[in-house]
Structures are given as C-alpha cells and as structure tokens.
Amino acid sequence: MRGALMTPEFLRTTRAELASLAAAVDRIETNAVAEGRDLTDEEADFMSKATTVAGDLLASIQERAKGFAPLGEKGARPREWPGANLAERRHSAWKHARDVAEKARGEGRDLTLEEQADVRSALVDVDKFDQAVKQAAESDATFQRAFGVADGQPVGNVGPLAKAAHLNPRVKASGGSLWGQQVVQRLADNFGQFKALVQAGSVPVSVPLDPDPVRMDIPVLSLRQLITTVQNTTGQFAYMRQTVRDNNAAVVAAGGRKPTSVYTLERIDDRVRVIAHLSEPIPRQNLDDASMLRNFIDQEMRLGLDLALEDEIMNGDGTGERFLGLANVPGAQEQEFTTDILVTARKAVTRLERYGYAATSGFLMSPEDWEAFELTQDNEARFYFGGPVAAVNAASRRLWGLPVVVSEAAEPGTAFLADFSQVRLQLRQEGMLDWSENMYDANAFPDAETPEARGASDFERNLIRFRFEGRFGLEILRPSSIVHVDLVEGS
C-alpha cells in the first residue's frame, strides 16, 4: 500500500465509515447513560470491534500518507532527508537549500548549474513535505472529528471516543479520564504508532476536580458527583467540625438578657491516605493492542479505585489507614424504620429539613435497597407509579425529590441521607499509574525441581504489572447533616 495515493475518493469513503461508527457509538453511549446502566456484553463487544475497525482505518490513512506523493505525480518522492518525522525532514531539506545558497553568497559568486539544480530539488522536496503534512493533518482531523478528540488531547494509535463511550458510566460520572490514552501516548512514536512497552514507567492521572454536574433528568452515578473536592498540596489538612448546634435566638426586651446559642467546634487534624491496587501479571503480547490496553486501564483499575474510595467514605472506621466515614462519625442522626421504606425515607428528609440541610442533600444506598424502592407496591400489588410519582422517579433516580446514588460499597438495609455540601474530599493525588516487569515471583514455576528454578521475574516471563494509586482524605464538617436510615423493619 506504500505507493497508494491519498485520493479524494479514499478520504470520502473513510470519512463515511468513521462517521457511521461514531454515530452508532454515540447512540449506545447515550442510551446507557440515560438508562443509568453499564454497557451490555453485546454493546461492549460492538465498542471493541468499532475501536479495532477505526484503528485499521487510521492505519490505512497513515500508511497512504507515508508516500506523500502529490496527486498527479505518482512515484515523485523527496530524497531521504535526515529527521525523525516529516517536520524534521522538511527542515533538513530547507536548511540544505539555504546552506548551498549562503555558501555561494559568502564566496561572492553565482550558483553553479549543479548548485542551482540541487537547490531547486531541495525546495521541491520542501513543497512535497508541506503537502504531505497538510494531507496528514486533514486525515487526522477527519478521524478526530469522527471520534471527538478535543484539541490538545493526546493522540495515540486510536483516539478516544467522543464521550468515552467505552467507559463504565460510573467512571465517566466521577470525572472519567484520558490517562489510559496518556499511557498509549508514552508508548507511541512521533507518528502515533504503537511501540514496545518500556520496562517500567508511570503517568499521572488527570481527572477534573469537578465531575459531571448533577442534573435533574439524569441519574447520579457516582458519589463523587455530590462531594466537593479540595486540592491538597501537603498531604496534611485541618478543619473545624461542628459537634453541637443549639440555636437559642429569641426576641429580647430592651435591657433584657440575651440568650446564648451554643455552637461547639472541634479542630480535626488529619492526613491523606493511600488507596491503591495492583493488576495481575499480564502477558506483554496481550498489550500489543492499544485499544485493549486503554480499555483495561481506563475502566477496570479506575473503577476499582473509585469503589474502594466510596467504601472508605461510607464505611471507614477511622482505625489505622482508614477514613472516618459516614457510618461511624460521631454525631450523625438516626432514622428508625417507620411503616414502610417510603415513609421512613421521607421522615429522614424531615430530620435534615429541621437543620436546613435538605436542599443540597442526597441518598446513598445499596443496589438491593434501591430495587426495593422501585418494586414497592400498594395493597393491590400495583407499583407506585401513580399517586406518589414524585416520591420515586426511576428515570432520574430521585427519591422524595433528592438524588440517589447506588453504590456496591453500601450495606443492604441501611441507607444514608446526607447534605454532601458538608462533606469534602481532600485530593492530594488523583491517581498515578505505574507499570513494571521487574517484580520477582519465588513460585513462578511451582513444578520445577529446585527452588532456584521455581523463581522468575516478570521480565523473564515477558509479563507486565500495573499499579494504580491515589491519595485522598475526608472532611465531615457537620455530622448532624448525616442521617443513618434503617430500611429493615425490626432491625
């Protein structure tokens, strides 16, 4: 294909195929987010195939661009100028032409016929390089428009899809990321072609401090959508936690004694904690496909850390390296089970309304408990989609008008209702992805006859391991803004 031309017909066909893929991907992503669910196996399989097809199309564009022969001049190619890419080779051709001309000028003479031919040839090559760069840019722009990579984002062998449709919706809701793409960029050459993995390395994870905003018609898929994030620069932090709130303001006659309100604050000194995990050893051959690498990193390791972070925010007991979470902070309110789960949830809202917290509050519960709300029926076994339509809004996942976050880390039977503006996440390091093949496994070959033969490094076995970790801390400013809601009768 090296001699193939970048013809208008080829570009039109490729553009149409990319646009079709992008439209199909966008439909799947939109439906998944609107329905508040993960991608089905069939949808995920289509995403994988679409990424592969897109990669093949881009490879075809890049292969044709290598020829950089102007239309109508098939076979006319520049000389082999030194340089690692088109821009450097163009500079070499231009510099050669300039040096020849300046040499003649310095010697006070005209260019010889041979020098004139040499300079003209070099300048023709400069024009050819300009055309090749322009064609490559147009081809890349076509691909970028089809898959929606914003200006300034890193581009590897296959650009990330416009709305990261291959990501788990929870990952996207908590900020998503293009850090998997950064890994691919680190492992790619100047033309974006995938090259061999280095033995070890790391990339910082770039996730916006403000994730997707909470919209009334869209389910809240991640707890981090409700919690304010504060950038931490030292690893340590301190804040004032209110432990008593006794308002005694009243009308006072002239000269009378004014009542005293009590607002007790406790200084909390804390530090950020590390949340991390490793991947299993992965054969290097399995990482040759950039899209597979990106899907693995962007979804599995990020999602795993997010789930662990949610578990600490909810259930941390404050011992060792654990957070002091919503379930264990002293001073939280308790709402016992009353009548049924809908009535119980509404009474919990009242508890926060008495403190003025309800306007920025949200529920946090397990998938099983949210299922129980959606399946609640009246005495005639009719689901509640009529009278209490304002109580349960399944489409946007609202309960009594407040957003509901469903988390695997929540224990069934107990929900949280909290004003999350009174909770802040200290962020020292959003995440760092490291990889290495230098780990040693003393039992890599358990069937070997001698202990020396059983052990082997990942390098010897051609394996790669990834580590992903972040550093976070939790502030709970007003424990009274949290209600533990008992959803089980008689518990």
Please tell me which of 49-63, 153-167, 213-227, 328-342 the model is most confident about, judged by mean pLDDT. Answer: 328-342
Residues 29 and 152 in one domain: yes
Separation of alpha carbons 184 and 179, rounded Å: 9
Residues 223 and 157 in one domain: no
Residues 160 and 176 in one domain: no
Which is more confidently placed, 480 or 297? 480
CB 198 within 8 A of CB 438: no
CB 17 within 8 A of CB 55: no
CB 326 within 8 A of CB 476: yes
Which is more confidently placed, 107 or 270? 270
Across the range 224-248, mean pLDDT stands at 90
Q: Which of 144-158, 229-243, 253-267, 303-317 has the lowest mean pLDDT?
A: 144-158
DSSP letter, residue 284: G
Counting the structural domains of the chain, the total is: 2
Q: How confident is the model at residue 195 (pLDDT cuts 50, 70, 90)?
A: very low
Across the range 203-208, mean pLDDT stands at 46
**Quick one: tokens of 171?**
């990952």
Residues 154 and 172 in one domain: no
Separation of alpha carbons 456 and 439, rounded Å: 9
**How many other C-beta atoms can be found within 10 angstroms of the C-beta atom of residue 314?**
21
Residues 293 and 374 in one domain: yes
Separation of alpha carbons 83 and 68, rounded Å: 16
Which residues, at least 6 apart from 96, have a Cβ–Cβ distance to it below 8 Å? 81, 118, 122
Domain that holds residue 81: 1-164
- Bridge partners of residue 403, in order along the sequence: 398
Cα(first)–Cα(last) distance of the chain, in Å?
A: 72
Q: What percent of the chain is predicted at pLDDT more than 70?
A: 70
Residue 294 CA neighbour count, 13 Å, CB half: 32
Q: What pLDDT digit, counting tens, does each position of 63-102 carry?
A: 665 544 443 344 455 677 887 677 778 888 888 888 888 8
- Bridge partners of residue 436, in order along the sequence: 200, 465
> Of 138, 158, 162, 137, nearest to 150 (Cα)?
162
pLDDT at res. 148: 44
Separation of alpha carbons 159 and 153, rounded Å: 9
DSSP letter, residue 383: B
Which residues, at least 6 apart from 42, have a Cβ–Cβ distance to it below 8 Å? none
- For residue 468, what is the enclosing H or E element? strand 463-476
Last residue of a domain, one of 164, 195, 221: 164
Q: What pLDDT digit, counting tens, does each position of 115-148 carry?
A: 888 888 888 888 888 887 776 666 555 545 544 4
CA separation, residue 397 to residues 214, 239, 368, 402, 420 (Å): 11, 33, 14, 8, 17
Separation of alpha carbons 376 and 382, rounded Å: 8
Across the range 459-477, mean pLDDT stands at 90
- To the nearest 10 degrees (0 to 180), the angle between helices 113-147 and 41-67 is 170
Give the amino acid at 117. A
Long-range pairs for 457-460: beta carbons < 8 A, 24 or more residues apart: 458/281, 459/199
CA angle 295/54/38 to nearest 5° reads 40
Sign, CA torsion 33/35/36/38: negative
Residues 29 and 125 in one domain: yes
Residues 291 and 366 in one domain: yes
Distance from CA of residue 85 to its chain's centroid? 31
Residues 11 and 146 in one domain: yes
Residues 443 and 457 in one domain: yes
Last residue of a domain, one of 149, 164, 179: 164
- In the three-class reduction of DSSP (H, G, I as helix; E, B as strand; rest coil), residue 199 is classed as coil
pLDDT at res. 472: 96
pLDDT at res. 443: 83
CATH number at residue 310: 3.30.2400.10
Residues 107 and 217 in one domain: no
Separation of alpha carbons 405 and 398, rounded Å: 9
Q: What are phi and psi of 74, to 5 degrees?
A: -55, 130
CB 36 within 8 A of CB 122: no
Pairing of strands 392-393, 398-399: antiparallel
Q: Which of 291-305, 373-387, 397-411 has the lowest mean pLDDT?
A: 373-387
| CA torsion, ordered 416, 419, 420, 423, to nearest 10 deg | -100
Separation of alpha carbons 174 and 224, rounded Å: 6
Last residue of a domain, one of 114, 136, 164: 164
Sign, CA torsion 322/358/404/335: positive
Sign, CA torsion 64/66/72/75: negative
pLDDT at res. 463: 87
Residues 196 and 59 in one domain: no
Q: Which of 42-46, 73-77, 192-196, 239-243 has the lowest mean pLDDT?
A: 192-196
Residues 198 and 312 in one domain: yes
Residue whose tokens read 């650009």: 159
Separation of alpha carbons 294 and 80, rounded Å: 35
* Per-position DSSP letters for 54-115, written without gaps between them: HHHHHHHHHHHHHH-PPTT-TT--------SSHHHHHHHHHHHHHHHHHHHHHTT-PPPHHH
